[in-house]
Amino acid sequence: MQGVNKILVIFDDVWEEFEPETIGIPFGVAHEGCKILLTTRHQQVCTIMNCQKKIQLGILSEVEAWTLFKDNAGVDDGPSSLNGVAKEVARECKGLPLALVTVAKALKGESLDGWRAANQRLKDSRHLDNEEVFGGVYSPLKLSYDYLKKNNSQTTENDIQLCFLLCSLFPEDDEILIEILIMCGIGVGLFSHICLIEDKRREIGVALTKLQKSGLLLETDNAETVRMHDVVRDFAHWLKSMGENRFMVKDGLKEWPHIFENFGCYTAIALWNCSSNIDNLPDKVKLSNLKILVLSGKEMLRVSSTFFEEMKSLHVLILIDVYFSLEGLQSLTNLRTLCCIDCKPENLSSLTHMRNLEVLALFGTNSDEILEDLVELSTLKSLYLSHDEEQQINFPPNLLSRLTSLQELHVTSENNINLLELNSLSRLTALSLTVSAEQGFQENFMFPKLQRYNIVVNGYFGYLKGLTFRTLKINNLSSLLSAFKDLFCNVEKLSLENIDGEKNIIPNLCKKRVNELTSLWLKSCKDMEFLIDITGKQGSSVALSNLVEVDIRNMNCLKELCHGPPPTSFLQNLEEVTIENCKCLQVVFQMNKICEKVESQAPLLSRLTILKLYSLPELESIWNLESSHHEIASLRSLKELYIDCCDGLEQIIGFAQEDE
């Protein structure tokens, strides 16, 4: 091989790291003309082997999918009936390359009836009725699934495999809320060797990432959700269609399934969007081995008070749009997670029988009458409460301070919480909270140190908002900002609106460097002049080094983003900047006093892709930089530039003359 100047070596379907030299393949310094291409279903292999370029083969567009499919199936774009059915089959593969190639090759040369039969099986998710066609899809998926057990001593499904199977309980094409997955995972005992909810969250997050890298889950545009491809979902259902631990997932039920004659083998059942007048809905269902039940009404589904009596092994119960009796849950003594979304509980009774309950979530579900009972739930670790937007949650005095086992508290509707009670929760690591000015911030109050939080002052956010980012949204609060002192230091997303009396963020709001902040929104903070003011300090330290997005509006006193020599790394990671209606701003990026230290760093603004400037009457230039320093800044990544009502703008990019 060394005698050949240029050679390409391809390794297909690699599952583990290997050293090319050990099998006689020279590369790198030994043979710079040798290029190695490898394919793998396990992205970690690319990372371990230090691949210079990684190409993720994702879901194909409809046009790309049809091109790949017809090339492998031997069909074309002609108007024949067979080609029409072939296009439907290709669409049912939902852009998954593995399914497109396997199904196309299996159906190549089939009759029109054969194509139609395969198409119907795909639509009905009956893939295994024809293993010749669909077995080739499931075999590589089974390899990926089995590989998840590598380096795991468990003989049954390990935690990552179970996490994958939990994702299959959700409807087809659904964007699965990670927060709901976490509730389910805690209920079924995922990572049972871990006690802290925060650590379980982290492990479940790692598991989901691993599933995405293995091609078993898909990313979405929302960091708080994941998605499972339809074909992969059907594969998961196939895995759990046999044996003693079966899953059942149905959507849009109008009639109660007859399959419940063999109810004893089911450990997880998810019935989505059931008709409110479903036929043959029983008063009682004996499901003695059932661990997970999801019951969702299309409108409002009413179930009997005895419906749950024979489900005594249930660990996770999720009810959506269901009329039910709390009294009917008395037999569920093993329940660990109870989640009710937009439900109407009747016969409100005590929850004290749920002595193993760890997660209680009541979204859009009235909870005031049962709040006192929470004290009796000694194992309760995570509490979610949310009413309709116009309803307030009324906590009895001193209730919160007695919930000493709580590790997470999520109250996202208006409430009467005495904030001082939060300081009694010594185990609290995560907090979602809506706070109004009427509640008042006592002078001696300070939010405890938290690992995750989403706190809104004088505002509202959705009740299923996750805790992916540490978030603060503070509106119309100009005093006692010291209550947030410990949170400003590690906040990731910060929004301030109508905050008076503060001239800067650093050092006025936080003397530390706020280096975990990625997104900043400022609006109508009339006294703020700078984001950072480091005049009088020697040299420059790192500050706002991870800031990616900045949105500033109606800031009439804003003069500069940074007053004084910009800190090291400031402006290096910015990707999107919007500034609107700031009457005093003359230069967006004032860098003519740039610190010499920055010269050794990556160019400033080199990641900026979007810049929007509106209604800035005093604006003279986007940046001001001495010509001797022009190499330290670059707009090489800029893709979108919007400028409107900036009548004083003399030049878009300007360098100051050396004699100025």
Q: Which two tokens stand for residue 516?
A: 């975990």
The helix (run of H) or strand (run of E) holding residue 210 is: helix 197-213
Give the residue among 476, 384, 468 at the shortest CA–CA distance from 433. 384
**High-pLDDT (> 70) share of the chain, %:** 89
In this prediction, residue 77 carries a pLDDT of 83
| Domain extent listing, the chain | 7-48, 62-141, 156-239, 489-660
The more confidently predicted of residues 9 and 575 is 575
- The confidence band for 201, taking pLDDT boundaries of 50, 70 and 90, is very high
* Cβ contacts of 582 within 8 Å, gap of 6 or more: 552, 553, 554, 555, 556, 558, 616
Q: Are 228 and 234 in contact (CB under 8 A)?
A: no
CATH pick for 62-141 out of 1.10.10, 3.30.470, 3.30.70, 1.10.8: 1.10.8
The helix (run of H) or strand (run of E) holding residue 45 is: helix 43-48
What average pLDDT does the chain have? 84
Q: Is the pLDDT assigned to residue 658 strictly greater than 80?
A: no
Tell me: cis bond preceding 282? Omega within 30 of 0 counts: no
In this prediction, residue 92 carries a pLDDT of 82
Q: Which of 66-80, 241-255, 559-573 has the lowest mean pLDDT?
A: 559-573
Question: What is the tens place of the pLDDT at every residue in 4-51?
Answer: 778 888 888 787 888 877 777 776 666 777 888 888 877 778 888 888
* Greatest mean pLDDT range, 458-467, 559-568, 597-606: 559-568
Which whole number is the average pLDDT over 308-327? 93
Contacts of 332-341 with CB under 8 Å at 24 or more apart are 332/308, 335/187, 336/186, 336/187, 336/188, 336/189, 337/183, 337/184, 337/186, 337/187, 337/361, 339/180, 339/183, 339/363, 339/384, 340/365, 341/365, 341/464
CATH number for the domain running over 156-239:
1.10.10.10
Sequential DSSP letters for 306-345: TTTTT-TT--EEEEEEEEEEGGGGTT-TT--EEEEES-EE
Question: What is the tens place of the pLDDT at every residue in 53-90?
Answer: 888 777 888 888 899 888 888 888 888 888 888 888 88
- The confidence band for 259, taking pLDDT boundaries of 50, 70 and 90, is low
The more confidently predicted of residues 649 and 593 is 649
Write the DSSP symbol of residue 506.
B
**High-pLDDT (> 90) share of the chain, %:** 37
What are phi and psi for residue 574, nearest 5 degrees?
Answer: -60, 130
- The confidence band for 155, taking pLDDT boundaries of 50, 70 and 90, is very low
Report CA-CA distances (Å) from 371 to 55, 349, 390: 52, 11, 19
Rounded to 10°, the helix 62-73/81-92 angle is 120
Q: Is the pLDDT assigned to residue 348 strictly greater than 70?
A: no
Task: Record the pTM.
Answer: 0.82
Q: Is the pLDDT assigned to residue 555 strictly greater than 70?
A: yes
In this prediction, residue 594 carries a pLDDT of 56
Q: Which of 205-219, 323-337, 436-450 has the lowest mean pLDDT?
A: 436-450
